[in-house]
Structure 1
């Protein structure tokens, strides 16, 4: 009898620990996704991508913002961390400012949205979404349906004087701009770039205690009710059998 009780207690403890860990992981992921969506929606509504970029980068610099009647183009130099080192990324975000045509499906073959980036020093192509893997087979303006904007990003390993041309869903040129990109050997201890959110800032924004605690209380309560009921039932059956 005592051996059974010991076994059941150990089993219950292991199961309770599993529920505890699983709940924290699940609710943390859910909260992270919710915060990301909140920041993304705010970026579109305010036409300000500062928080959105800050949330995803180690450091960043806004190179330009070009506004037209139909679109707002946000150009950023982003420092990201990849495979144990810092990399320089060039990003352009296209945010519609009025109703525009865009792909309703990622496989929309009618979508002519594209970006062409040329090195002005020698007129060579640096980036062409029509030939680049990961871009060429997708309807790029589908991002408007998903996020409210679409973007292009590429890693650069040197400085460039860029000529950037963007085309919309119908293949019309919506941006033709010269942009200077200066490669940076990033140093976390210095520099003039704006920094991404720190661990403490992210922790405060996520506010996991507020979101995780109710879920923990709910799941643990359900488990305890179930555990006590099952334990009591088994105990009753064993006692009855002994009689």
Structure 2
């Protein structure tokens, strides 16, 4: 085998591998975004947070559900992970029933947004208008982007206290008492999705194979044409 053919074959294989990796990354990102968008759409349409929470957490325990005139509010304790360590989070999800009846931010820097979560107990005192990371952002912009928005607060102890939730105009959505234990109730705990369940929603392999075959066929045709041209040029030089 001529030396240039060997070099060309190696370079072609490298380009083929690069095409595969780029395609894999692009398809995975696109399919992951598509799956997430579909899940958030289902949440807004059904006011059911189960699929969203199972997809985005390691598991969760329902605490309270409030159904108000303009909103549904779900309060849950979620199991997450940070730097390889399990963390417990209080998650408050706010779902609008009819966007045409409420005000909300269309820009994350909207200074008029008075959306706010206040938690008060013997162990926790949180006000999202004062405390990071929410104090500088208009949270109700989530209505415009996701169709809902949510707060996540890391907790390290049992909670028994008051929760106040305000909307864009500063009107109270809820003002109530909630109680839950830091340790999950095994009977109420809902396990997050397995890798197999997530993969079945993302469908990377099905889409990847179709796109990859098309791209590699195009590359192969171009690759062969270039190889033929190089061969012709080298033969003419040898004459």
Answer whether TM exceeds 0.5 for this pair.
yes
Cα distance in structure 2, aligned partners of 1:96 and 1:81:
28
**Structure 1 segments (4+ residues) deviating >3 Å:** none
Q: Give the 3-state SS of the residue equivalent to 1:61 in structure 2.
A: strand
Cα distance in structure 2, aligned partners of 1:191 and 1:208:
34
- The runs of 5 or more residues in structure 1 that have no matched partner are none
Q: What is the CA deviation profile of residues 107-148 of structure 1, one whole-angstrom value per residue up to 9, with x for unaligned ones?
A: 1111111110000xx4x7521101112211111111110101
The answer for the alignment partner of 2:111 in structure 1 is: 109
The answer for the alignment partner of 1:49 in structure 2 is: 49
Residue 162 of structure 1 and its aligned partner are, at CA, apart by: 2.5
Indicate how the Cα distance of structure 1 residues 185 and 113 shifts in structure 2: closer, same or farther if over 3 A, else same: closer
The answer for the alignment partner of 2:193 in structure 1 is: 197
Residue 192 of structure 1 and its aligned partner are, at CA, apart by: 4.7
Q: Work out the number of aligned pairs and report it.
A: 237
Q: What is the CA deviation profile of residues 62-95 of structure 1, one whole-angstrom value per residue up to 9, with x for unaligned ones?
A: 1111001110001111011111221111011001
Cα distance in structure 2, aligned partners of 1:135 and 1:192:
29
The answer for the alignment partner of 1:87 in structure 2 is: 87
Give the superposed CA RMSD: 1.6
Indicate how the Cα distance of structure 1 residues 208 and 160 shifts in structure 2: closer, same or farther if over 3 A, else same: same
CA contact 1:116–1:125 (8 Å) conserved in 2: no
The answer for the alignment partner of 1:208 in structure 2 is: 204
The answer for the alignment partner of 1:131 in structure 2 is: 130
Q: Give the 3-state SS of the residue equivalent to 1:4 in structure 2.
A: helix
Q: Give the 3-state SS of the residue equivalent to 1:141 in structure 2.
A: helix
Q: Counterparts in 2 of 1:135-214, with a 5 A limit?
A: 135-184=134-183, 192-214=188-210
Residue of 200, 211, 218 corresponding to 1:222:
218
Cα distance in structure 1, aligned partners of 2:36 and 2:141:
19
1:76 aligns with 2:72: no
TM-score w.r.t. the length of structure 2 is 0.94
Cα distance in structure 2, aligned partners of 1:143 and 1:202:
24
Cα distance in structure 2, aligned partners of 1:196 and 1:21:
29
Cα distance in structure 2, aligned partners of 1:219 and 1:191:
50
Q: Give the 3-state SS of the residue equivalent to 1:131 in structure 2.
A: coil
CA contact 1:107–1:138 (8 Å) conserved in 2: yes
Q: Give the 3-state SS of the residue equivalent to 1:69 in structure 2.
A: coil
CA contact 2:61–2:184 (8 Å) conserved in 1: no
